[in-house]
Homo-oligomer: A and B are copies of this chain.
Amino acid sequence: MPLREAKKAAVRQALVAAANRRFHRHGFEQTTIDEICADAGVSRRTFFRYFENKEALAFPHRTERFERFLALLDGAGHSPNPVDGLRAICQTFAHEYSANREAILAQQRLVDSVPALAAREHEIDCDWETAMAATFRRRFGRGAAAERRARLMAGAAIGVIRATMRYWYEKDGKPDLARLGQEALDGLEHGFLS
């Protein structure tokens, strides 16, 4: 890795680490960007060249996870039933989340306690929903009806995923996330009343 790139990665990492320490110790709003900068040995002005805003610090894996999701979506394109693809992706992420349970729960407690962070999380959900809709559309073919069906399904999918995650968080990550995910997708596939 070229020197310049390595330094940038180090600064980024230092900022995230400093932020996490302070966020978890004193809370998000109580932590000031100036303090984080001081800890990381960087100027305020520089901070805003690494992160759009304070909230972005709480989702350091945002783009990385999303790109992985895109790749999985792309790769899962063989079955005619798009839910099959989702089931596989669901397994993958369920394992990752279960493996990093403590870290994920801590992050989520933070997010849930700060409306501004919940808002950012929703932005992420929107990205995922849009990506799913695009994939489904490719399966469903042309036409306004197919387009609408793809979007409805993506909306419902992100809805049940969110609900499932919330449930899992609430139960302190004890339930089997992979199983919860499969049940959620059952509802998506066959409806919640039939």
Contacts and interface: CB of A to CB of B under 8 A. Distances in A.
A152 B123 contact: no
Contacts of A192: 83, 149, 152-153, 156, 188-189
A64 to B, nearest CB: 21
Q: What is the oligomeric copy number?
A: 2
Contacts of A149: 187, 192
Contacts of A116: 119
Nearest to A120: B119
A74 to B, nearest CB: 20
Interface residues of A, number: 39
A155 B184 CA distance: 10
A69 to B, nearest CB: 17
A167 interface: yes
B163 A154 contact: yes
B184 A189 contact: no
A122 interface: yes
Nearest to A159: B159
Nearest to A140: B192
Contacts of A160: 152, 155-156, 159
A3 to B, nearest CB: 35
A44 interface: no
Closest 10 CB pairs of A and B: A159-B159, A155-B163, A119-B119, A155-B159, A191-B191, A190-B191, A156-B156, A153-B192, A122-B122, A156-B159
Given A189-B191, A190-B194, 14 more contacts: A82-B193, A115-B123, A118-B122, A148-B180, A149-B187, A152-B160, A152-B184, A153-B187, A155-B163, A156-B163, A158-B159, A188-B191, A189-B192, A190-B193
